[in-house]
Structure 1
Amino acid sequence: MDAVSPAHDGHAHTLPPTRLYGDALRFGIHSGQLHGSYEICRDLWRRAEQLGYDWISLIDHLRPHLYGPDQPCFEGMTLLAALAAQTERIRCAMLVTGAMWRHPAVTAAAMATIDHVCDGRLEVGLGAGGPDLAYEQYGIPFPAAGERMDRLEETCEILRRLWTEPETTFEGRHFRLDRARLAPKPRQAHVPLVVGGSGVRRTLRTAARHADIWNTLATTTEDYGRQLAALRGHCVDVGRDEAGIRRSITFRAVLVERASGVDARSAELLRGAPDEVRAEYLSFGTPEQCVADLKPYVDLGVRDFLLAVKPPIDWQTVELMIMRVAPALREYASLREV
């Protein structure tokens, strides 16, 4: 990736254009940690690396609201450090950490530490924070969306400045730093920030100002195009070259060797799944069908395709995605560039 000089004056639009990883497609696993077993999480990360995936991430929820009050879920930051230490090549990420969980300086220090643990392979996802049973169960404040977005905006700036400046003084609406220092800095000269979300008014404006990568959950191509248009508009407003923001989607799929088996396999894997999870499925069928389903997103400029995996792990889909879908989609993308 290209090195980038951070903005020190609080105006993220002073960042020069950045082309993370060029135009190459990346395929990743958004793994979550809802399995109730560290060994399952560890083996998934190791296997994803062995299979040739480029990227793997965790969620940063404490009590995920979609799966009921008793669903097991490991704490994200400590697990990210542990799993990053179990890998050697794959990019390691949090997708995403909410602005309400930790003070930005604590997040900056934790992420800098993890970047050393994984020898400079970290990517940091940030979001305003969504529903989580922990807010009620643990008494953690959950303010209105506007305040959470304000906190996200300040968090993005604080992280970048602490990671790059010798000393940081910051006076915001929600956070204050007085001659703050962070050492050691991350191993990477420029840790990629992934801003996650689809809110066209605030989230995408934050992405335009601060993101190296913009990630959103799977949606229709029409809705994705609407979000993309909003991002472009915000980039114009803040003076940012939209080419400097890599596009990423998180999606689900059910892949089978033969189309005749997809209905039974889908029914088995989606049994009991919440509607919000079902809505994230972009493809059901053979690898060839999945390639056809994902090509329109390549045409819209998506370069990171992150397969969300929930328990129990659907190893057939995990393997077919990287062995059959990824090569075909990469060939399609390369031919479009000729």
Structure 2
Amino acid sequence: MPVHGEAVRFGVHSGQQNHTFGESLELWQRAEALGYQWASVFDHFRPPLGGPGGPCLDGMTLLAALAARTSRIRCALLVSAPTWRHPAVAAVMAATIDHISGGRLEFGLGAAGPDLGYTQYGIPFPPAGARMDLLDEACRVTRALWTEEVSDFSGRYVQLSSAHLAPKPVQPRIPLVIGGDGERRLLRIVAEHADIWNTLAGTPESYRRKCEALARHCAAVGRAPEEIRRSVTFRAVLAEDEREARARKAELLRRLPADSPLLDEYVTFGTPEQCVADLLRFRELGVTDFVLGVRPPIDWQTVELVARHVMPAVASSPPPERYASGTGAVTAQ
């Protein structure tokens, strides 16, 4: 499945807050068998879900193990925080995983968000501006180490001196995924460095505004917005009919408080047909990658309904003739 271009891809984003490796492996292998093209894990050590003592496997080492036990699906970390690991160390680990996977890695980077691990483990959590600077340097260092025979870099936070990375990744260009939607700084970094931009779906209206901001940054750096694949992570609760869907939504609301911010991540509570209609609104805005967020307990019914009904319907829809770019409508390539 090509990374660039207009081909639609579907994936699962699996928050690895499981008690066993087997639970994560089952999701990835079943997702691959169902025809998903992408699977990812996150990069948190102590996420708040499950309380301060909840389970959470390490993202990078888990990704390597899952890559070794799958054969086709694209493998991603969504997204790695340069506050956890020196960017050069992360680049070496990523290149190794690309070899383990046979060239299926898509590596995500982000500016890092709240995580109980910073306090519990005594890891520094810089202010937002510093984290943005670190992310920008991490993007530059990572790409240099993957592609240059010898790399030198002198940044505020990262320094390389005649640095080597060998063997190089299997892929000539590992797709760099940048996650986030900060309109002033984060999307400028996306415009400069990303092969793929990922963010939470939100509403079509809010997503359009983010696309317009990205297009302005692309214009400033001399890059065409359509060079960057657009990826959204969404959640859904699906059922075969509307009555069952309402019952399943009520069950979810019994587990989550009515004011939970997690509810904003849900695009659809309904049937597969309703989900198709909801996702096509994002497809019209140029989205090519739809990533279903899956956290324990795994909603296998939704995972299977998306694969069997939503994925083929969205993938077979005509590509958008035009999508919002911030400078007017731009013909899709």
Q: Is 1:223 equivalent to 2:206 in the alignment?
A: yes
Matched residue, 2:191: 208
What CA distance in whole angstroms lies between the structure 2 residues aligned with 1:132 and 1:167?
35
Q: What amino acid is the match of 2:143?
A: R
Deviations 1:68-108 (A, max 9, x none): 10210001110000011010000000000112011011000
Question: Relative to structure 2, which stretch is displaced further, 116-125 or 34-43?
Answer: 34-43
Matched residue, 1:316: 301
Segments of structure 2 that go 5 or more residues without pairing to the other structure are 322-331
CA contact (8 A) 1:251 1:306 kept: yes
Query: 1:270, CA displacement in angstroms?
Result: 4.3
CA contact (8 A) 1:298 1:333 kept: no
Q: Output the aligned Cα RMSD.
A: 1.4
Matched residue, 2:170: 187
Match among 311, 315, 328 for residue 326 of structure 1: 311
Query: 1:196, CA displacement in angstroms?
Result: 0.2
What CA distance in whole angstroms lies between the structure 1 residues aligned with 2:32 and 2:163?
37
SS in 2 for 1:332: coil
Q: CA, structure 1 residues 287+134, in 2 after alignment: closer, same or farther (shift >3 Å)?
A: same
Matched residue, 1:48: 31
Match among 218, 227, 247 for residue 244 of structure 1: 227
Q: What amino acid is the match of 1:179?
A: S
Q: Is 1:269 equivalent to 2:252 in the alignment?
A: yes
Q: Is 1:260 equivalent to 2:257 in the alignment?
A: no
Q: What amino acid is the match of 1:86?
A: R
Q: CA, structure 1 residues 70+270, in 2 after alignment: closer, same or farther (shift >3 Å)?
A: farther
CA contact (8 A) 2:45 2:58 kept: yes
Identity %: 58
CA contact (8 A) 2:286 2:320 kept: no
Query: 1:334, CA displacement in angstroms?
Result: 4.6
Q: What amino acid is the match of 2:99?
A: H
What CA distance in whole angstroms lies between the structure 2 residues aligned with 1:55 and 1:272?
28
Which residues of 2 match residues 29-108 of structure 1 at below 5 A?
29-108=12-91
Matched residue, 1:5: none
Matched residue, 1:199: 182
What CA distance in whole angstroms lies between the structure 2 residues aligned with 1:306 and 1:328?
15
Segments of structure 1 that go 5 or more residues without pairing to the other structure are 3-19
Matched residue, 1:15: none
Match among 167, 172, 176 for residue 155 of structure 2: 172
Query: 1:174, CA displacement in angstroms?
Result: 0.5
CA contact (8 A) 2:236 2:266 kept: yes
What CA distance in whole angstroms lies between the structure 2 residues aligned with 1:327 and 1:45?
19
Matched residue, 1:26: 9
What CA distance in whole angstroms lies between the structure 1 residues aligned with 2:75 and 2:253?
27
Match among 272, 284, 294 for residue 299 of structure 1: 284
What CA distance in whole angstroms lies between the structure 2 residues aligned with 1:69 and 1:30?
22
What CA distance in whole angstroms lies between the structure 1 residues aligned with 2:81 and 2:318?
33
What CA distance in whole angstroms lies between the structure 1 residues aligned with 2:39 and 2:253?
22
Query: 1:167, CA displacement in angstroms?
Result: 0.3
Deviations 1:303-329 (A, max 9, x none): 000000011111110001011011111
Matched residue, 2:93: 110
Match among 263, 267, 271 for residue 278 of structure 1: 263
Q: What amino acid is the match of 2:197?
A: W
CA contact (8 A) 2:283 2:320 kept: no
Matched residue, 1:10: none
What CA distance in whole angstroms lies between the structure 2 residues aligned with 1:137 and 1:285?
39
In the comparison of the two structures, how many residue pairs are matched? 320
Question: Relative to structure 2, which stretch is displaced further, 181-190 or 264-273?
Answer: 264-273
Q: What amino acid is the match of 1:295?
A: L
CA contact (8 A) 2:98 2:170 kept: yes
Deviations 1:275-299 (A, max 9, x none): 1211100001111010111111000
What CA distance in whole angstroms lies between the structure 2 residues aligned with 1:309 and 1:70?
20
Matched residue, 1:136: 119
What TM-score, normalized to structure 1? 0.92
SS in 2 for 1:253: strand
CA contact (8 A) 1:214 1:248 kept: yes
Q: CA, structure 1 residues 21+323, in 2 after alignment: closer, same or farther (shift >3 Å)?
A: farther
Query: 1:335, CA displacement in angstroms?
Result: 8.3
What CA distance in whole angstroms lies between the structure 2 residues aligned with 1:25 and 1:273?
32
Q: What amino acid is the match of 2:74?
A: R
